[in-house]
Amino acid sequence: MGRNNEADIRDDHKDFGFEIQANDMVFRRHCFSVTRSRFMKQAKAFKIYWVITTALTVVLLLSSTIAYAAVKTLINPVVVRVNGEDVSETEFLYFLMGKHGNEIVDKLVEHLLLKQQASQFGLTLNKQDGWDFLEKTYSQEKLNSLGNAFDLDLVATALAREVLAVNVINKKSEQLIKDDNIKVSDDDILQFYLNNIDKLLMPESAGFSWIVMTDRPTAEKALGRLKNGDDFATVAKEISVDELTSKDGGKVGVIAKGETKGLPKEIEDAIFSLSEGQYSDIIEVQNNFIIVMTNEKHDAYEPSLEELKPLIETKLLTTKIEGPLGQWLKQLSDNARIEIVYPIFQEMGEPGKMVPEENGVGQ
């Protein structure tokens, strides 16, 4: 009843020149659900997505070798170059820690505290969960590159700890519901449904696959193969440069019409103009050449109370245990001995407070 126990979570690499925003609940498989009641699952998935990706970022940074730190470079001294001028890695890390250091350190501390409670719920850390995430998220080439800069075993452990923390929260939530006899009545569910019916409407949606290429000649060959009867999934596996979808035959997921802020309009228009099973012509988007295929389409509709009842019940139960669960987490923190060891946090007095608040820089 707590957080979503979602293991297959992906990091958005922005490989193709445009950003797909997971928080719009419109892109990448981990934000999608093929069921018509997907809206609550998507919201939970995004929450865990943010936790894991931000935690992973900091863990990667903090696990660098001493040799890199000695020259004040973790991976590369330059992050991006603009009209010949560099943005250094030092600048990037300074503002990253300044903006997010406090909240991420707090989250990592929470993971450790929850790990330390796992045994009372019959749970243990499984490092393979972390490795599974890394292997599903990155190609072997990128894993090798990360391995040259970071201790991947430490990263995998941190990711596994995140999964374990989610499981502990879920177990504790179940315990609170049982021990405190927390229930949700049919009247509560009906009232929530009536009060939120306008928010529960399901917009028109479509599931799609794509083949992403970086040059037109390759795209022309791919389109020719499709016209000659080759299977779309087969062509995607062989040609698409999108590592996250090519292994699944280019399958991306389900999007809601008009709610795809991170997806180029040309792509969305093509998806909803096609019939199920049809593929598009080549679409050029920011130096990439894309062919999309619409796999499924669903009309907008109003879900019934019976369809949403299990999800509403979960939502209301979660709301009712937020207080007791928060008190339990606070008690764990209050009783813990937490030492700030990282030098820059020691010098500034508090994690995340690396830039004066009054001038607004880095906040």
Domain count of the fold of the chain: 2
Question: Does 160 lie in the same domain as 238?
Answer: no
54 within some domain: yes
Higher pLDDT, 346 or 44: 346
Split at pLDDT 50, 70, 90, the class of 139 is confident
| Domain containing residue 285 | 205-298
- Assess whether pLDDT exceeds 70 at residue 36: no
Tell me what percent of the residues of the chain surpass a pLDDT of 90.
53
96 within some domain: yes
Split at pLDDT 50, 70, 90, the class of 199 is confident
- Assess whether pLDDT exceeds 80 at residue 87: yes
- Assess whether pLDDT exceeds 50 at residue 249: yes
The 3-state secondary structure of the chain, one letter per residue: CCCCCCCCCCCCCCCCCCCCCHHHCCCCHHHCCCCCCCHHHHHHHHHHHHHHHHHHHHHHHHCECHHHHHCCCCCCCEEEEECCEEEEHHHHHHHHHHHHHHHHHHHHHHHHHHHCCHHHHCCCCCHHHHHHHHHHHCCHHHHHHHHHHECHHHHHHHHHHHHHHHHHHHHHHHHHHHHCCCCCCHHHHHHHHHHHCCCCCECCEEEEEEEEECCHHHHHHHHHHHHCCCCHHHHHHHHCCCHHHHCCCCEEEEEECCCCCCCCHHHHHHHHHCCCCCECCCEEECCEEEEEEEEEEECCECCCHHHHHHHHHHHHHHHHHHHHHHHHHHHHHHCCCCCCCCHHHHHHCCCCCCCCHHHCCCC
5 within some domain: no
pTM > 0.85: yes or no: no
112 within some domain: yes
15 within some domain: no
362 within some domain: no
Arithmetic mean of pLDDT over the chain: 79
pLDDT in tens, 263-289: 899 999 999 999 999 999 999 998 899
Question: Does 244 lie in the same domain as 131?
Answer: no
pLDDT in tens, 316-334: 999 999 999 999 999 999 9
Question: Does 275 lie in the same domain as 156?
Answer: no
pLDDT in tens, 214-238: 999 999 999 999 999 999 999 999 9
346 within some domain: no
Average pLDDT over residues 84-91: 90
